[in-house]
Structure 1
């Protein structure tokens, strides 16, 4: 989304909370949500916007190095971490002073909470523009409960007219001189007991903030139960699946799409086959801000099929960068990196009865009619790995994206039990693990699904949906079997 903001914008994120209210031993900004600390999702909301020049995170002394390591790990190159103060306002003041030092041409400062990970770009733009025009701006939400007061004996004294009052939410934005002047005049009582930045701007800079209606997603992770809610929102927003290779397995493509849609995922089907991946899926439907999970239907690794040139094809070694956060719900059942004993037993029995077949011609290309010992294990693994890298490289955009914006690839293969299924299984597993390792640090997760024998499309689609639901960075590189 393009914006016409033509002036410098910086951010201050106070992140000094220590999680007592949630009864957590880990500060809530560092709590795990889908494999990453909560604060990463908040940073990513703003870091990806080109018109935000710098982000200053002010935190307690004991968390400075931890945050700096996290910022480095996820590639948040706009972020500066500084030591904050003993209270919220002291931390914000430290952040504002640092922002003035690291970014001289900032005109508007946005202040936000580290544990509010959901801010729509259009809402942020509205706040920034209002602050640039009026000096200060904030968002509000209607009260959903009546506010009452009680006396020292815990007796009701009064209640407020709910129609006249609102919840003050974040983010808030200020012209830099407005908030800087306000903090320069704050008293110790303001620093120690104040909570509302907009009131400081009014009290000390004479600026009456513009208050705009906020959206329902501007909530704050406050209690332990909110972590589960945040995880659910991330799952709903950040997973859009493109099923590619419908020409290879039309029935499976349809079945996977149907299964995922029943689970409320957004699904795009593309009929390209793996042999025709010279261009990415329809650019009007895919890209770094839309499709982020790709299910690739590779050709069936059956002895009678001509596409076994996957072993011999020399393709360019392409790799991708990053793009959107993954989700994590139901557990995986009857699958895993280790080979299922029953699958191994069946495969061993049938593989022991296999016979080698002669080579044949198809469309002028000489290919092997079975995965026999004439092709070395190394060449098989190399061919499979090159093929998967090529497909990913042709789909991923060249633009680099920082931090959490992840792509996930699920490569689906099928092999007839009459071929050397066990041998291929091992080589494919090695290829998936190698590709995952190559993608480390680039925000790309890689999984494989191998269907052994005549497995129904329904079973494969169920496994695919389960992997997507459970998608987690610690699972990257695994090969899941469907028997």
Structure 2
């Protein structure tokens, strides 16, 4: 039976957030933002191990106590300049234990509201899938294309459009191959698509938000408090 592993790339600076520290270390309900994402993954019984890929010179990680997350959690200081590079380095770090047919879930460090139900849906929908897939939600809002002056030049049809989330789950061997061949991507599904394959969309919901701007952090607080 294939095993499940998780990689959380956490070498980014979070420059769009505009904070003094990387956004994955901003406070959220008394914990660093990334803690909540890691807690969801380490608490999942199907996942054997979780690697956090840090920047080689990250000074923030040692300032916190991660012991409550248990023995599944491991850190590797091999983060790269891009997400794809960090994930590729994380895959290499996992090579000693992961087989080609094992599943790898890649999850955003700044996506703290992942739930057990979302993970269960991902595992159930992709258990026998030949490609793998991602959590995603159908686009609900009307989409406008803007010009250089931020004026509307077109309304884009939203039929068939989905907003990608994480985790994104693919076989270890195939994901390693895809990122080696196509690293100029913004998510793992993009690399799989470059191989000519079609990842499956597993319906999630908007509570699995990515914290990008300060207002997102306030939303994450409300979502997590609501669950408790």
Aligned to 1:196: 187
Q: Does 1:41 align with 2:31?
A: no
Of 79, 84, 91 in structure 2, the residue corresponding to residue 89 of structure 1 is: 84
Matched, 1:162 2:153: no
With structure 1 as the length reference, what TM-score do the two structures score? 0.44
Match of 1:80 in 2: 74
Does 2:111 align with 1:111? no
Write the distance in 1 (CA, Å) between the matches of 2:69 and 2:148: 52
Distance (whole Å) between structure 2 residues aligned to residue 71 and residue 180 of structure 1 = 31
Partner Cα distance (1:35, 1:211) in 2: 33
What 5-or-longer segments of structure 2 have no aligned partner? none
Structure 1: any 5+ residue segments left out of the alignment?
1-5, 239-483
Among 222, 225, 228, the residue aligned to 2:218? 228
Matches within 5 A, 1:83-482: 83-104=78-99, 107-132=102-127, 133-152=129-148, 156-186=152-182, 190=184, 194-204=185-195, 206-238=196-228
Larger radius of gyration: 1
The reply to whether residue 30 of structure 1 matches residue 25 of structure 2 is: yes
| Matched position secondary structure for 1:74 | helix
The structure with the largest helix share of the pair is: 1
1:21 corresponds to? 16
Q: Is the 8 A contact 1:8 1:105 kept in 2?
A: no
Question: Which secondary structure does the structure 1 equivalent of 2:16 belong to?
Answer: coil
Two-structure CA RMSD over aligned residues (Å): 2.3
Compared with structure 1, are the counterparts of its residues 84 and 131 closer, same or farther at alpha carbon in structure 2 (3 Å cutoff)?
Answer: farther
Q: Residue 17 of structure 2: SS of its match in structure 1? A: coil
Residue 104 (structure 1) shift: 4.8
CA distance in 1 between partners of 2:157 and 2:25 (Å): 38
On the 8 A contact 1:131/1:209 being kept in 2, the answer is: no
Shift of 1:61: 2.2
How many residues are matched?
Answer: 226
CA distance in 2, matches of 1:222, 1:28: 8
1:52 equivalent among 47, 50, 62:
47
Cα offsets for 1:416-460 (capped at 9, x unmatched):
xxxxxxxxxxxxxxxxxxxxxxxxxxxxxxxxxxxxxxxxxxxxx
Quick one: structure 1 residues 153 and 237, their matched pair in 2 at CA, closer, same or farther if it must change by over 3 Å? Answer: closer
Q: Distance in 2 between matches of 1:71 and 1:105?
A: 33
